[in-house]
Amino acid sequence: MDFEHLTYAREDRVATITLNRPHRLNAIARGMPQEIKAAVDRANADDLVHVILLQGAGRAFCAGYDLKNSAEQPRGMSGSQDGTYDPLIDFLGMDNNTQCFQSLWRSPKPTVCKVHGYAVAGGTDIALSCDLVMMAEDARIGYPPARVWGCPTTMMWVYRVGAERAKRLLFTGDLIDGKEAERIGLVTKAVPADRLDAETAKLIDRMKGVPKNQLWMQKAAINSAYENMGLRTTQLLATVFDGLTRHSPEGLYFKRRAEEAGFHQAVEERDSGDPILGSKPPRNN
């Protein structure tokens, strides 16, 4: 297929997939998840490829879903249903995206993500679906929509850092830098930004000389432990909850603010630390 939102290249046993919307910090556009899966499928079908590298063009890896237009449009047009809420509508769309991102996790060939600038919100669903993540020390990663209007549908956080650290990050929506991400085990290694390309290439060079069948067997055995722990069930629940976050009282208030004051103002208020408005008043006991 021809790609609109990414580029694909193969050189010396490495397939490189580059998210290519630099003008929007590679924010996830409609069709991008399906293109990622198609690119992963192409790499797996190519007998010359041993390792898949995922990266972003421009100033960042991925700034999450491209939500500005949909958040500022009236309800019922994109991402926020009007009238009676039907959870299946949200689930079918978001689960398809989730499984496209998870093609990186399920790929028989190892996947390595290179993060610079930002990996935020939905961008973390992509990055953390890879087997290994190399990150610049000054890059930032996190899931701010956990504060309101989002739940990470791949829910790879808990499988990478454990329950307590996943809760700390998703209860706050805070961004952390590469050094902290490496310290807590969220990413494989953090290096100075000017060494990110070279260090990633060094890692991939060690991997690409290993037979494909050996790489697959190691990956399949390790991944099976997570599948046995209920990864798919966790993702099903998280994806349902992602739809609910956009239709909770606070989620609907956030949507109204985005329509009234603009998406960036609504995000600034969400992340200010002040209580999120829109909740039902507390009941008096």
Over residues 207-223, the pLDDT tens digits come to 999 999 999 999 999 99
CATH class label, 6-270: alpha beta
Interval 217-269: pLDDT, tens: 999 999 999 999 999 999 999 999 999 999 999 999 999 999 999 999 999 99
Question: Residues 156, 178: contact at Cβ < 8 Å?
Answer: no
Beta bridge partners of 252: none
User: What is the predicted pLDDT for the residue at 18?
Assistant: 98
Q: What's the rounded Cα separation, in Å, for the pair 116 and 132? A: 14
User: What is the predicted pLDDT for the residue at 280?
Assistant: 64
Interval 80-114: pLDDT, tens: 788 889 999 999 999 999 999 999 999 999 999 99
| The pLDDT of residue 285 is above 60 | no
Structural Rg of the chain based on CA atoms: 19
User: What is the predicted pLDDT for the residue at 93?
Assistant: 92
| The pLDDT of residue 171 is above 90 | yes
User: What is the predicted pLDDT for the residue at 282?
Assistant: 61
User: What is the predicted pLDDT for the residue at 66?
Assistant: 92
Among 49-53, 158-162, 279-283, name the one with the lowest average pLDDT. Answer: 279-283
Q: How far is CA 186 from CA 113, 128, 136, 169, in A?
A: 12, 8, 13, 11
Which helix or strand (DSSP H or E) is residue 254 part of? helix 249-261
Question: Residues 17, 52: contact at Cβ < 8 Å?
Answer: yes
pLDDT band at 29 (very low <50, low <70, confident <90, very high): very high
pTM of the predicted model, to two decimals?
0.95
User: What is the predicted pLDDT for the residue at 21?
Assistant: 97
User: What is the predicted pLDDT for the residue at 134?
Assistant: 99
User: What is the predicted pLDDT for the residue at 77?
Assistant: 67
pLDDT band at 122 (very low <50, low <70, confident <90, very high): very high
Residue 276 CB-density burial (10 A; 0-12 exposed, 13-18 middle, 19+ buried): middle
Q: Which among 55, 78, 91 is positioned nearest to 200, based on CA atoms? A: 55
pLDDT band at 78 (very low <50, low <70, confident <90, very high): low
User: What is the predicted pLDDT for the residue at 281?
Assistant: 61
pLDDT band at 284 (very low <50, low <70, confident <90, very high): low
pLDDT higher at 77 or 17: 17
Which helix or strand (DSSP H or E) is residue 223 part of? helix 212-228
| Mean confidence (pLDDT) of the chain | 94
Q: What's the rounded Cα separation, in Å, for the pair 62 and 220? A: 27
Q: What's the rounded Cα separation, in Å, for the pair 37 and 101? A: 7
